[in-house]
Amino acid sequence: MKAAMWYGLHDVRVVDVAEPPVEAGMVKIKIEWCGICGSDLHEFTTGPITIPVNTPHPLTGQVAPVILGHEFSGTVVEIGDGVTNVQIGDRVTVEPILTCGECVQCKSGRYNLCSQRGFHGITGGGGGFSEYTTIQSDLVHKLPDNISFEEGAVVEPAAVAVHAVRLSSLNIGDSCAVFGAGPIGLLIIQVARAAGASKIVAVDVSEQRLSKALELGATHIVNPTRQITAEVIHDVTDGHGVDVGFEAAGAELSFRETLQSVKPNGEMLIVSLWEREVSFNPNWLVLDERKIVSSVAYCREYPEVISLIASGKINARGLITKKIQLDDIVEEGFKTLLTDKTHSKILVAPTLR
Ligand SMILES: [Zn+2]
Ligand SMILES: [Zn+2]
């Protein structure tokens, strides 16, 4: 079968690999759509970040080259012995987080913080940029009839946004700012609206992304190349600052601006991944008791996220800006996302339908 594999920096190839076997407790899925994630781009431009290169990943036993793709939907085509939660023919999506089940974090229920955490589609074990993949059955979630396969491929990033907002201190009626209107930022905007935020300020350098943000629930927009972010936040919040600033851009300027947008005793929540270090003045925290918190992946939230998409509270379709086939993933997918910021989520199918 065809699969897109990460070989190294700027080196992703579509190659022919063996179809994965179905073992006991595993489910084989024929991939319908798989989204390209910011973390895939990070691995392409500055990796390896979490892809194992020299030491095999403790849970998958694999090193690069690995199959990429962790945001996918598909149809169950085979089940291993002992699988009872899904049947052949079911339409599904996958929670691609791999955990040991043994460490303190796993045992306390916070499996997203597992000491050996891996991701199907990043750290080996197969992935969604391929024709088929196999994964343990408890990570497979059925899609209701009113969620399309395209929307099913957006459940994973939507879960990242739901987890972030749940971990934040955001309460109904609060104001927030979302720095970075890429896919995760646009999803946080929708989740914050669903959670009852009264004011949602979206900050991004792309006009197209800002208009998308307005369409999906932002109440105010700021383009820092044309406006002074702090002034807009000041005006919108009557000089107080926002209750919660979500950092979803992963850039130094945005880090500082998020912190500076937050009211005294307010909170900045970091959800983005970083390619380099940042510097900031801790007085911004200390003098007004501001807080920095963070959020990674998701933990037992897939059923709720699927319901939020099914009920229309999260518009997953609104995020999808392009659909391509696997053979074109580098040129039409990765390179397009890196150069053309009008795009949000690009979905990849093994063969275009
Ligand atoms: Zn992702
Ligand atoms: Zn663990």
Ligand 2 centroid to residue 24 C-alpha, Å = 21
* d(CA 121, ligand 1 centre) in Å: 10
Report d(CA 280, CA 35) in Å as an integer.
33
Amino acid sitting at position 295: S
Q: What is the 3-state secondary structure (H, E, C) of 255-311?
A: HHHHHHHEEEEEEEEECCCCCCCCCCCCHHHHCCCCEEEECCCCCCCHHHHHHHHHC
Q: What's the CA gap between 177 and 75, in Å, rounded? A: 38
**Would you state the pLDDT for residue 353?**
62
| CA 333 / ligand 2 centre spacing (Å) | 33
Sheet holding 2-8, edge to edge: 11-16, 2-8, 66-67
Alpha-carbon distances of 329 from 14, 40, 188, 324, rounded to whole Å: 8, 11, 26, 7
40 Cα–ligand 1 center, Å: 7
Half-sphere exposure of 332 (CA within 13 A, CB side): 15
**Structural tokens at position 321:** 């800006």
Considering every ligand atom, which ligand is closest to the CA of 116?
2
Q: Is the dihedral of CA 331, 332, 335, 340 positive or negative?
A: positive
CA–CA distance, 334 with 348 (Å, rounded to integer): 11
Tell me the CA–centroid distance for residue 61 and ligand 2, in Å.
15
Q: Ligand 1 centroid to 347 CA: how many Å?
A: 12
Residue 99 in contact with residue 120, Cβ under 8 Å? no
Mapped onto helix, strand or coil, the DSSP state of residue 323 is strand
- Residue 239 burial by CB count (10 A; 0-12/13-18/19+): exposed, middle or buried? exposed
Give distance in angstroms: CA of 71 to centre of ligand 2: 22
Q: Which residue has the tokens 């009113």?
A: 146
The CA 185 to ligand 1 mean position distance, Å, reads: 12
Q: What pLDDT does 341 receive?
A: 87
| Ligand (nearest to CA of 184) | 1
Taking the alpha carbons at both ends of the chain, their separation in whole angstroms is: 17
Question: For position 304, what pLDDT does the model report?
Answer: 98
Mapping DSSP to helix (H, G, I), strand (E, B) and coil, where does residue 318 land?
helix
Q: Which two three-digit tokens encode residue 4? A: 């897109």
Structure confidence at residue 275 (pLDDT): 84
pLDDT digits (tens, 9 = 90+) for 27-38: 999 999 999 999
Give the ligand at the shortest distance from the Cα of 114: 2
Q: How far is the CA of 299 from the centre of ligand 2 (A)?
A: 12
Residue 110 has a CB neighbour count (10 Å cut-off) of 14
Low-confidence ranges of the chain (pLDDT < 50): none
Instruction: Write the CA distances from 295 to 165, 201, 211, 247, 320, integer angstroms.
Output: 9, 20, 26, 10, 24
Based on the number of CB atoms within 10 Å of its own CB, is 328 exposed (0-12), middle (13-18) or buried (19 or more)? middle
Ligand nearest to the CA of 122: 1
Q: How far is the CA of 70 from the centre of ligand 1 (A)?
A: 6
Candidates 286, 231, 224, 218; CA nearest to 255 is 224
Instruction: Give, for 159, the enclosing helix (H) or strand (E).
Output: helix 155-167
Q: How many helices (H) and strands (E) does the chain have?
A: 11, 18
> How many angstroms does the Cα of residue 72 sit away from the middle of ligand 1?
10
Give the closest ligand to the alpha carbon of residue 120: 1
Six-digit token pair at 309?
């998409």
Is the link from the previous residue into 65 a cis peptide, with omega within 30 of 0? Answer: yes
Residues around ligand 2, an ion, CB closer than 5 A: 99-100, 103, 106, 114
Rounded to the nearest angstrom, the gap between the alpha carbon of residue 176 and the centroid of all alpha carbons in its chain is 20
∠ CA 113-25-156, rounded to 5°: 45
Q: Which ligand gives the minimal distance to the CA of 43?
A: 1
